[in-house]
Structure 1
Amino acid sequence: MSNWADTVDESKKRWEKNADFWDNKMGEYSNQFHREIIRPETERLLSISPEDKVLDIACGNGNFSKRLVELGAKVTAFDYSSKMIENAQKRCFDYLNKIDFLVIDATNYEELMKLKNFGEFDKAVSNMAIMDIADVVPLLDMVYELLKINGIFVFSIMHPCFQSPSMRTVVETEDAGNEICVRKGVHLFEYINPRVHEGIGIVNQPVPQLYYHRPLSQLFKTCFKAGFVINGFAEPVFQCKDNSHKFDWYEIPPVIIVRLLKCK
């Protein structure tokens, strides 16, 4: 992990290259994965109230920032990709009176300090981005500072237990006598050791992105060290077996969604 900081610039370059592709694929309402797996539980755990001030971390093309406004929130959103922010401002043009978009590197505490200009926040959210961030310590520390007492931070990531580096999907068939049963699952080779590795978030994206794998023990330890407690947790799975996505096993959750609470 000692050299992960050296990968930040490379990670940012790759997201700049992927920004327009991702904007096109995510569109106004995100893709099926986000609509069915991420958004329902994230919105439930966030429980937005009218006039909540919400920090949207690694906001991408801004479509969830816009959703937060539709739920009644006032939003400050940032990403370290300037192209992502440009796309977000275009997509959210009619909402810019309720969304402030900024270019900020979540690994850089000095850049994160800019967020203090917006005062305290009721809530913070990060959709499928923590595993893309080389060093989450500055981010967690700053979010803790920015939140009001009893403020919450909800984040989602690829499930580190089932989507670890070198994970493979497997298909098993069995002659059960009166039918052929097909079962799908995952084959894991490593988990406990943190590792940076390349991956494809959306098929045919221009370049692979960098993923930062952390076992749950390390991830949660970092959250606790920042001062948070966990008071919400979800492991959503797909409900419809339509084979229209790569996550076509239905007993194994592809993500975790965590709610952190600032108690004091």
Structure 2
Amino acid sequence: MTQWTELNDESRVRWETIAEFWDDYMGDESNRFHRELIRSQTEQLLQIQQGHIVLDIGCGNGNFTRRLSDLGANVVAFDYSSKMIERAKLRTKDKLNIRYKVLDATNPIALSELGKDKFDRAVSNMALMDISDVGPLITNLHTLLKRNGTVVFSIPHPCFQTPNMREIQETEDLNGSLITRNSIQIFDYLTPEPYQAIGIRGQSVEHYMFHRPLEYYFKQFFTSGFVLDGFLEPSFIKEKDEAKFDWYDIPPVCIFRFKKV
């Protein structure tokens, strides 16, 4: 939302503060959340082919950027945190098909300078919810992508992860069997709202996140000349009874694929 642009500088400062902490935590392989919910499903929707030119938006420390390189893509990856890009470069060795940039996704001029009809694919893993105004990015993606190019992005599922949502686990004696159910309580789904969150326990400051309902993303992409042609709602696989809440029958994320038309 354009009214949140005044938070953009503060958001970037906070990510600069916690960038090294996040990089240390994520390492070269990222965390379970990304490994089990994001990576394989995103690859499924991207359908990378040898020689594809790919734009990686909000690349962080470059975990998925390097995976794209391994799949044969030539990658331009950017993040607005200079410290994240420094860490990404340090972790990237002997990969000549990756170029990292410090770039703010809310800056339409900087986005347009990336090229016209240049990219076969664009991807953003769990980053759009951290961007104060996604309008310039979505508008420019239509120019940046080649004909029939696609953009795949993942975000926390806005239907189930609203600001101040509550995770609930209840155990019930049902016909002599103890049944445990996970549920959530959500608030103000339809109200776009910035909020502060702890993504990794132990980070020194909260970072900003920006809640938007599904309708907002659909409208932005549809009016910019895209059609939705892929959508996934991954969740963890429950292999045994757990004594804590986890995302089994409720998807914590959703992954979209929009195609340029």
The alignment yields a C-alpha RMSD, in angstroms, of 1.7
Q: Counterpart in 2 of 1:101?
A: 100
Q: Counterpart in 1 of 2:180?
A: 182
Map Cα deviations across residues 130-159 of structure 1 (whole Å, 9 max, x no partner).
110011111011111010001000000000
Could you list the runs of 5+ residues in structure 1 that have no partner in the other structure? none
Larger deviation: 9-18 or 247-256? Answer: 247-256
Q: Deviation at 1:242?
A: 6.2
Q: TM-score, normalization: structure 1?
A: 0.95
- Match among 151, 167, 188 for residue 169 of structure 1: 167
For the structure 1 residues 29 and 244, does the alpha-carbon distance in structure 2 shift closer, same or farther, using more than 3 Å as the test? farther
Q: Counterpart in 2 of 1:15?
A: 15
Map Cα deviations across residues 197-242 of structure 1 (whole Å, 9 max, x no partner).
0111111112111111000111110111111110000000101446
Q: Counterpart in 2 of 1:250?
A: 248
Q: Deviation at 1:243?
A: 8.2
Is this contact kept in 2: 1:19–1:84, CA < 8 A?
A: yes
SS in 2 for 1:13: helix
For the structure 1 residues 178 and 247, does the alpha-carbon distance in structure 2 shift closer, same or farther, using more than 3 Å as the test? closer
For the structure 1 residues 91 and 245, does the alpha-carbon distance in structure 2 shift closer, same or farther, using more than 3 Å as the test? farther
Map Cα deviations across residues 135-188 of structure 1 (whole Å, 9 max, x no partner).
111101111101000100000000000001110001111111322211111111
For the structure 1 residues 91 and 247, does the alpha-carbon distance in structure 2 shift closer, same or farther, using more than 3 Å as the test? farther
- Match among 231, 234, 241 for residue 232 of structure 2: 234
Distance between the aligned counterparts of 2:24 and 2:210, measured in 1? 25
Q: Counterpart in 1 of 2:134?
A: 136
Distance between the aligned counterparts of 1:245 and 1:205, measured in 2? 25
Count of residue correspondences: 261
Q: Counterpart in 1 of 2:45?
A: 45
SS in 2 for 1:33: helix
SS in 2 for 1:60: coil
Q: Counterpart in 1 of 2:69?
A: 69
For the structure 1 residues 136 and 115, does the alpha-carbon distance in structure 2 shift closer, same or farther, using more than 3 Å as the test? same
Is this contact kept in 2: 1:166–1:190, CA < 8 A?
A: no
SS in 2 for 1:192: coil
For the structure 1 residues 59 and 244, does the alpha-carbon distance in structure 2 shift closer, same or farther, using more than 3 Å as the test? farther
SS in 2 for 1:238: coil
SS in 2 for 1:24: helix
Distance between the aligned counterparts of 1:115 and 1:18, measured in 2? 27
SS in 2 for 1:105: coil
Runs of at least 4 residues off by over 6 Å: 242-247
For the structure 1 residues 70 and 16, does the alpha-carbon distance in structure 2 shift closer, same or farther, using more than 3 Å as the test? same
Q: Counterpart in 1 of 2:78?
A: 78
Is this contact kept in 2: 1:241–1:248, CA < 8 A?
A: no
1:251 partner letter: D
For the structure 1 residues 158 and 176, does the alpha-carbon distance in structure 2 shift closer, same or farther, using more than 3 Å as the test? same
Is this contact kept in 2: 1:198–1:209, CA < 8 A?
A: yes
Map Cα deviations across residues 74-114 of structure 1 (whole Å, 9 max, x no partner).
0000000000000000001221x110100000001112123
Is this contact kept in 1: 2:2–2:133, CA < 8 A?
A: no
Could you list the runs of 5+ residues in structure 2 that have no partner in the other structure? none
Distance between the aligned counterparts of 1:74 and 1:94, measured in 2? 13
Aligned identity (percent) is 52
2:248 partner letter: Y
For the structure 1 residues 243 and 69, does the alpha-carbon distance in structure 2 shift closer, same or farther, using more than 3 Å as the test? farther
Q: Counterpart in 2 of 1:146?
A: 144
Q: Counterpart in 1 of 2:215?
A: 217
Q: TM-score, normalization: structure 2?
A: 0.96
Is this contact kept in 1: 2:112–2:144, CA < 8 A?
A: no
